[in-house]
Structure formats: C-alpha cells, structure tokens
Amino acid sequence: MADKTIKKVSAANSPAGAMGQEYLASGVSVSMRLWEQHAARSADPAITARDYETVGYVLGGRAELELEDQKVALEPGDCWVVPKGARHRYRILESFTAVEATAPPSQMHGRDDPPQG
C-alpha cells in the first residue's frame, strides 16, 4: 500500500548539514534543502561529483556554478540543474539564498558528505 501521509516540516526546526544546508521536506525519492551562504573570502571550493541529481532556484544573491567545462552566473529568479555524477562547484559571490531539490534524497547514505581532500 502506498504511503499517503502528509508531512509538514517547519524550516525553524529543520536539521542543518555539515556544509550549512538546512534539510527541509524529504520523501522516498526526492528531498528539498535551503542554502543561505555568505561570500567566501578564501580559496576556491573543491570540485565535487555527487550521486544524486540537483535542481535549484535562486531566491537572493549571486553565485557562479562551474559544471564540467561550463560556467554560469546564478542570480535571483534563475534555476539550474546539476546532473548526477557531474563534476561541479559553486562560488558564492554575494550572500546567497537558494532552494534545491535532490533525487534521490541527498542526505541519505552519506551522499551529502563534504568533499575530502
């Protein structure tokens, strides 16, 4: 029998991840998280590849997404897709707020662990 339970999550009570993300609603096949980050003043972030697909929407601020050999600017109202397994990194250019959905859920089975090295 299919699960027909409504799940409501208050962002005020959402758990935070090691990279600053807030985990919002999560189902069996997809999850949603909130990013609120300030511009980095240190070295470039590491390039990483994840075993989930990500789609995102920028609420505020600016960032640059580098994906394989491509670079795109992300600004309020922009959406993006990072395919599963694609090598990528984000550079936060000014205080940045975005919502992402990941499939399968990013936080399951250590998929969301920070890059090593």
Of the given ranges (9-13, 49-53, 54-58, 81-85), which has the lowest mean pLDDT?
A: 9-13
Residue 4 placed within a domain? no
CATH number at residue 94: 2.60.120.10
Range of the domain at 60: 17-108
Q: What is the pLDDT of residues 29-63, one digit of tens each?
A: 999 999 998 887 666 788 999 999 999 999 999 99
* Domain presence at residue 36: yes
Query: How would you label 63-80 residue by residue, b for 16+ Cβ within 10 Å and e otherwise?
Result: bebbbeeeeeebeeeeeb
pLDDT recorded at residue 116: 46
Q: Does the residue 11 lie in any domain?
A: no
Model pTM score: 0.83
Q: How many domains does the chain have?
A: 1
Tell me if 114 is assigned to some domain: no
pLDDT higher than threshold 70 for residue 64: yes
69, part of any domain: yes
Contacts 24+ apart (CB under 8 A), 68-74: 74/98
Asked whether residue 7 is domain-assigned, the answer is no
Alpha carbon distance 112, 107 (integer Å) = 5
Under the banding of pLDDT at 50, 70 and 90, the label for residue 14 is confident
Cα dihedral 106, 109, 113, 116 in deg (nearest 10): -130
Instruction: Please indicate, yes or no, if residue 41 is contained in any of the structural domains.
Output: yes
Q: Does residue 116 lie within any of the structural domains?
A: no
Tell which residue, 45, 62, 50, has the closest CA to residue 98.
Answer: 62
Return the CA Rg of the chain: 14
